[in-house]
Amino acid sequence: MPHRLPALHRLSLRLRIFLLFAALGAGIALTLALGLYLGYVRNPNPSALNAVISGGILAGFITFGLIVAVWRLFDENVAKPIEHLAGELRARTHSGVKAELTDMKARHLGDLAPAATALMRHLNEARNELAEAIARETTQQVIEKERLLTLMADVPVGIVLCTVDHRVALYNGLARELLGQEDSDAPCLDRSLFDFVDEPSIRNAYAQLQRGDDPDHELEIVCTTVTGRPLIARLRLLVPTLVPAQGERDSGYVLSLERADTVPHVPPSAPRYVAYDFKLLQRKPGAEFADCLLEELTYVVFDTETTGLLPGQGDEIVQLAAVRIVNGKRIDTEVLDTLVNPGRPIPKSSTDIHGITDAMVADAPGIETVARRLHRFAQGAVLVAHNADFDLAFLRRDEIHTGVRFDHPVLDTVMLSAIVYGQSANHSLDALTARLDIPLSDAARHTALGDATATAEALLKLIPALKARGLTTLGDVLAETQRHGRLRRHGTTG
């Protein structure tokens, strides 16, 4: 179980070694000064004063130079490799990375790196054997689960399961089609139901069911979506309402939906799937972001492609994509991916990188529309990006025109990489995905969706490594990232 480290041990290894050499230098300087002083006192010849001072200064500079040289060698060949090796070990121990551990950067550590390589190889073999055993035992359960989900996907009504505070914990494809028109307007796990359907009718029906004596009672109402579509909705409590005096909470409700203006049927275009996370039913409403455990948060991981690298000098977004992570799982059905009309020509140098041309964005929506869609898509979530300051600079620059503020909590995977692997490591997206054994093809690289998906996978593998360092909540991580502000000031490659 992760534990809180003492204040001294929360300093990086390199900083602690630097302080050690600094203390050594200060001690030698004081000893040298004391020796010269005592020597001069015992032979108080005024003519020897200049010689004593010159000799002391020369000895001090030589000593200082030797200490600095030894510290630089130690930092480069011992401290940095140890810091890098520690990050690699955490990634393989806690994040499921199976790539072979290379020891070239740790060649000055003697047998430590080969021993770590052998240990990781043995750990991977043990994990593979355990995974095979678990797979054999759970195959039948997986088959039955898939059959159940298939049946739910084929139910000729929209199904939505909501928590006690009206957040979505399950929906099927037909419900997503009935309630939303665009990706940002369609139901998503851990979003409020009232983002998609009128609030008063649902609240009144839920309150009426809670007051009733029959736990199996079903209530039918007519409600409308936020786009004005009328729906027939049937509400049923998940479990009997518990007595408030017992200090227990209600467990939520299930909502079945049909169109109110046509004969109920399954439209041919209705997608057949079910998205769910039953852990959401157990979450206590109203928890502060900073106090939430990392693995229990909802994240929206996004990326942009742009006309250039200077948002303050007229560069614009040409593509934006985002994916959602709920309770440690990326939800495949919840994706926002759109081209953006930048309102200006795209330089050829930028097209050579991301492949987006003026013709491709001619009919695309502008940033005002896309920013509002992303804002709705990310409601109640933590925003995540690789080099997040760059992407957010474009969005926050246009907040006056878009009418939305991106005041979400923000995590930057560059900073998370620095916490795990140390600031001296390469924190580009290519380097990070390679270290974490995440596939990122050339075709997906420098597309907004490809980079956002790779960043999301990196986040999922970094979270266990962060927890291993005692950083268990969002507040812990945000405080720790402040120590790595140098990366933010100097930037990094994406």
242 pLDDT exceeds 50? Answer: no
Helices of type H across 337-447: 348-354, 358-361, 367-377, 388-397, 399-402, 413-421, 429-435
Q: Are 292 and 474 in contact (CB under 8 A)?
A: yes
139 lies in a domain? Answer: no
The token pair that represents 85 in the structure block = 């090796």
Q: Are 222 and 260 in contact (CB under 8 A)?
A: yes
Q: What is the pTM of this model?
A: 0.76
Residue, of 302 and 83, whose pLDDT is higher:
302
Of 245, 266, 282, which one is at a domain's C-terminal end? 282
350 lies in a domain? Answer: yes
Based on the structure, what is the number of domains in the chain? 3
The residue segments making up the domain with residue 31 are: 8-120
Give residue 101's pLDDT band: very low, low, confident or very high (50, 70, 90). Answer: low
Among the listed ranges 56-70, 250-264, 464-478, which one has the minimum average pLDDT value? Answer: 250-264
CATH code: domain of residue 225: 3.30.450.20
Q: Are 254 and 160 in contact (CB under 8 A)?
A: yes
1 lies in a domain? Answer: no
137 lies in a domain? Answer: no
Closest by Cα among 113, 108, 264 to 178: 264
Tens digit of pLDDT for each residue in 1-36? 444 444 455 677 778 888 888 888 888 888 878 877
Rounded to the nearest integer, the mean pLDDT of the chain is: 83
Closest by Cα among 378, 372, 369, 342 to 358: 342
Q: In terms of residues, how long is the chain?
A: 494
The token pair that represents 422 in the structure block = 């140390």
401 pLDDT exceeds 80? Answer: yes
Of 257, 282, 307, which one is at a domain's C-terminal end? 282
pLDDT at position 249 is 47
Of 282, 310, 329, which one is at a domain's C-terminal end? 282
- Sign of the C-alpha dihedral, residues 189, 190, 193, 196? negative
Using left for φ > 0, alpha for ψ between -120 and 50, and beta otherwise, residue 197 falls in: beta
Give whichever of 79-88, 106-115, 414-423 has the largest mean pLDDT: 414-423
Q: Are residues 276 and 300 in the same domain?
A: no
Q: Are residues 312 and 187 in the same domain?
A: no
Tens digit of pLDDT for each residue in 286-314? 778 889 999 999 999 999 999 999 998 99
Give residue 138's pLDDT band: very low, low, confident or very high (50, 70, 90). Answer: low
376 pLDDT exceeds 90? Answer: yes
